[in-house]
Amino acid sequence: MTSAASKVTTMREAIADLVHDGDSLVIEGFTHLICFAAAHEIIRQRRRDLTLCRLTPDLIYDQMIAAGCASKLVFSWAGNPGVGSLHALRRAVEKGQPAPLALEEYSHFGLVARLSAGAARLPFWLLRDYDGSDLPAANPLIRSVDCPYTGTKLATVPALNPDVTIVHAQRADASGNTQIWGLYGVQKEAAFAAKRVIVVVEEIVGEGVIRGDPNRTVIPSIVVDAVVCEPWGAHPSYAQGYYDRDNRFYVEWEDISRDEASLERWLKDFVYGVDGRAGYMQLLGAQRQDRLRAKPLISSGVNYGF
């Protein structure tokens, strides 16, 4: 059992090497494991003209849109979960500020299906959906085919193969075998669909830890290009077993983002004003970390013997 080559690098290097102007980019995570640390580094490195793809743009893409990184958004639900609107996104769509933003819209199932097709390297994916809805009229990429066996009409969506996918996860080994528990979202599909993959984890563990619990591995090292260790890298979203969702921040974002100037100030303080995630967390303060840190609830484990 020889250890594979290490892909561990810093966030700064990973973004500089693997995310380029004009790329299509997926940073997934459905409420859980959203890699804000990577988004902030992309903002700091002033990437432009990105096509941002995500089921729920969430605050992460609201921040990237406000910072002028995006020219297009591919999405299926664009709100601040449990709170209200994404104001930077709405300013971009309704007023073209700071720059116009093209939209390509699906439902959740449609976008999940696009990533499934991308991961399987098929040109499109089939689903029973959209009959009776105006969504296909709004998005000409939602089409249909007749089933060759039954003649039934089925909806289709094209494969999504992003240039880069960035996945946040609880832990990985140095070569990128990545383990996730709690809500999976579409992290696996997004990783397999991409041309380049960056995995960002709360902890890097030895290969033995991965081999000791192989059923928890969601993304294998063979699809991973870089591994970054960035504790608290998903804040204000969460990492099951590490820290809770910062619901208070999601509410605060409503006031921060409602006004362009206050959002700009927030970016200046919390993104441009720090050199990485450690600095961001320091700025947030120890009290907030204490409030969010997960309480232990350890699973009992299983017998892998034979």
Partner 1 sequence: MAVRAARELRDGEVVFVGIGLPNLACNLARATHAPNLVLIYESGAVGAVPDRLPVSIGDPALVTGSLGVATMADVFQFYLQGGRIEVGFLGRAQIDRYGNINSTVIGSYEHPKVRLPGSGGACEIAIHAKRVIIVAPLSPRTFPENVDFITSPGQNGKYGSREQLHLPGAGPVRVVTDMGILAPARSDGELELVAIYPGVDEKEARSRAGWPLRCAPNLEVLPPPTSEELRLLRDVLDTDHLYIGKREA
Whole-number Å distance between alpha carbons of 56 and 186:
11
Q: Choose, by CB under 8 A, the member of 36, 61, 238, 280 that binds partner 1.
A: 238
- Smallest distance from the beta carbon of 90 to partner 1, in angstroms? 6
Q: Which lies closer to partner 1 via its Cβ, residue 242 or residue 266?
A: 242
Whole-number Å distance between alpha carbons of 148 and 150:
6
Q: Which lies closer to partner 1 via its Cβ, residue 32 or residue 168?
A: 32
Site for partner 1 in 150-179 (CB under 8 A): 152
- Smallest distance from the beta carbon of 291 to partner 1, in angstroms? 14
Q: Choose, by CB under 8 A, the member of 7, 15, 26, 30 that binds partner 1.
A: 30
Q: Sort 235 into a burial class: Cβ within 10 Å, 0-12 / 13-18 / 19+.
A: buried
Closest CA to 229 of 206, 207, 204, 209: 204
Which residue is listed with tokens 């060759």?
A: 148
Q: Which lies closer to partner 1 via its Cβ, residue 76 or residue 221?
A: 76
CA 155 to chain centre: 26
What is the Cα gyration radius of the chain?
20
Residue 272 is a binding residue for partner 1 (CB under 8 A)? no
- Smallest distance from the beta carbon of 6 to partner 1, in angstroms? 28
- Smallest distance from the beta carbon of 183 to partner 1, in angstroms? 5
Q: Which lies closer to partner 1 via its Cβ, residue 84 or residue 123?
A: 84
- Smallest distance from the beta carbon of 78 to partner 1, in angstroms? 5
Sign of the torsion formed by the C-alpha atoms of 249, 265, 65 and 90: positive
DSSP per residue, 29-96: -SSBS--HHHHHHHHHTT--SEEEE-SS-HHHHHHHHHTT-EEEEEES--SBTTTB--HHHHHHHHH-
Six token digits for residue 79: 């709100």
Which residue is listed with tokens 């004009």?
A: 22
Q: Choose, by CB under 8 A, the member of 183, 222, 278, 283 that binds partner 1.
A: 183
Q: Choose, by CB under 8 A, the member of 8, 135, 205, 274 that binds partner 1.
A: 135
Residue 134 is a binding residue for partner 1 (CB under 8 A)? yes
Q: Choose, by CB under 8 A, the member of 75, 232, 253, 280 that binds partner 1.
A: 75
Six token digits for residue 111: 């976008």
What are the residues binding partner 1 (CB under 8 A)? 30-32, 55-56, 75-79, 81-82, 85, 89-90, 93-94, 105-109, 112-113, 115-116, 127-135, 137-138, 152, 181-186, 188-189, 238, 240, 244-245, 247, 250, 294, 297
